[in-house]
Structures are given as structure tokens and as C-alpha cells.
Structure 1
Amino acid sequence: MSTATRPNHIGRKISRIRELRDMKQEALAQALGTNQQAVSIIESSETIDEDKLIEVAKALGVTAEAIKNFSEEAVLNIIGNTYHDSNVVNGNAYSCNFNPLDKMVELYERLVQAEKEKIEYLEKILKDK
């Protein structure tokens, strides 16, 4: 394993954050008030002006520090360590604590019992008359 540090390519980090936020270059360009080609140039740049970085960060909904410190490995570790359930509904992990069919059977049995009690009550009223 190499101990050499990888270059801090801000453009690639911006690109990856944009992709993770499911945003196209055109959408980022519109948020920045520029065109897609300008966003492409930003994403291919190894460095970026601090003011422009803050503007891009705001458009992406993150801080400039988040872009500077972004690490693909960290994102994968967070996902790997927090995602334990294969049931996902609208992006949220969902785990059912009961069997829905058991609940349906339980409700049906309660309904049948209530109907039996109603019939017994009505029969009692008819006998009293």
C-alpha cells in the first residue's frame, strides 16, 4: 500500500458531490448563473478560487470545508456502517416489527367476534319481547 498522498483535486470532489446529490452539470450551472461548459471547466480544475468554491458549495448545499475534506472512502464507510436493512422505502431504512398478515387475521377475528356479540344481543332483545 502506497503512503504517497493523493492530490487534492477540488474539481473531482465537486463533480462527485454533484453526482451524489443526483444533480446534472446543467442544474449546477443554472444555480451558479453560468453554463454547463463553465461547470465542466470547474470540475476539471485541480484548484479553484476560494470565492468560487464558496459559491459552488452553496449551490450544492454543502460547505466549502465539506468539499475540501470530501473523501469517497469516508462516504462509503458511513454508508457501510449505517445501512443494515435491505428494506428501503423512499430512501429510508424501514424494518417492520410485526407480520402484517398476522395483524389482518387479528382484525378479522375481532370483527367476527363483534358480529357474534351483536347477534347474541339482538336475539336477547327479540326473546324479551
Structure 2
Amino acid sequence: MKQEALAQALGTNQQAISAMENSENIDEEKLKELAKALGMTVEAIKNFSEEAVINYFNNIYDNEISGSVIAPQSNNYSFNPLDKLVEVYEENKKLYERLIQAEKDKNEYLEKLLDKK
């Protein structure tokens, strides 16, 4: 969520959100408002872990591929999420390279057609 959108949801401005992000502590009342605006619980914010988020979304992604979506039951994974991210990046990179080459080929073909006219 962008700072501007969060600021609007909290009835404040972008600078206040930026200051909140840079502070080490947020008072409990402001934390409750923040959790409500983000659609989550105060406990979820307090127990936030980047690793847990990556594992959660990797699990959803892997389950969607197999045809089912279930909530993760544990954080014991036998793969490194960063390796998975690099793998997906490389696959997408190859796809984009093929798409770019197809567009170049199409443009060359159209230029040849135009030159003939």
C-alpha cells in the first residue's frame, strides 16, 4: 500500500506515515488504527516476519500450481525462497526475451511489406 493511500485511510498525510515508518515505536492506539486500515490484527503487525511472509506466499503459489490453495501449516520448507524467486525470474526473463524477439521479427516483416508497396 502506498503511503498516500494509507494516510488517506488514517485521515493523516504522507509525511506522518513516513515518520511512523521511520520510528522505532508506535503507540498502541495508533497501532490499532494502522491494523484496521491495513485489514489485519495488531498481533499480525507485532509478529511480522519477512521470512514468514515469503514462506506464506510461496506456499500459496506452490498450491495454486497444484490446483489447491490451503493455508500453510508450518514454516518447515525444504527450499530457499530466494532460490525460487530467482528461478521464476529466469523463467520470466526467457519468456520476455522470446516475446521481444517475436515483436522484432513482426516489425521486420511489416517493414518489408511496406517497402514492397
Output one character per residue of 1:1-39: Cα deviation in whole Å (capped at 9) or x when no partner.
Answer: xxxxxxxxxxxxxxxxxxxxxx11000000111000000
Matched to 1:51, the amino acid is E
CA distance in 1, matches of 2:41, 2:55: 20
Matched to 2:61, the amino acid is Y
Note if 1:39 corresponds to 2:17: yes
> Could you tell me the TM-score, scaled by structure 1's length?
0.47
Q: Secondary structure at the match of 2:59?
A: helix
Could you list the runs of 5+ residues in structure 2 that have no partner in the other structure? Answer: 68-117
Could you list the runs of 5+ residues in structure 1 that have no partner in the other structure? Answer: 1-22, 88-129
> Could you tell me the TM-score, scaled by structure 2's length?
0.52
Matched to 1:37, the amino acid is Q
CA distance in 1, matches of 2:35, 2:59: 26
Report the structure, 1 or 2, having the larger helix content: 2
Higher relative CO (Cα under 8 Å, sequence separation at least 6) belongs to 1
Q: How many residues align?
A: 65
Q: Secondary structure at the match of 1:83?
A: helix
1:115 corresponds in structure 2 to none
The runs of 4+ residues in structure 1 deviating greater than 3 Å are: none
CA distance in 2, matches of 1:36, 1:86: 41
Note if 1:27 corresponds to 2:5: yes
User: RMSD of the alignment, in Å?
Assistant: 1.8
Matched to 1:30, the amino acid is Q
1:56 aligned to 18, 34, 40, which one? Answer: 34
Matched to 2:14, the amino acid is Q
Larger Rg: 1
Q: Secondary structure at the match of 2:34?
A: helix
Shift of the alpha carbon at 1:86? 8.9
Identity of aligned pairs, percent?
72
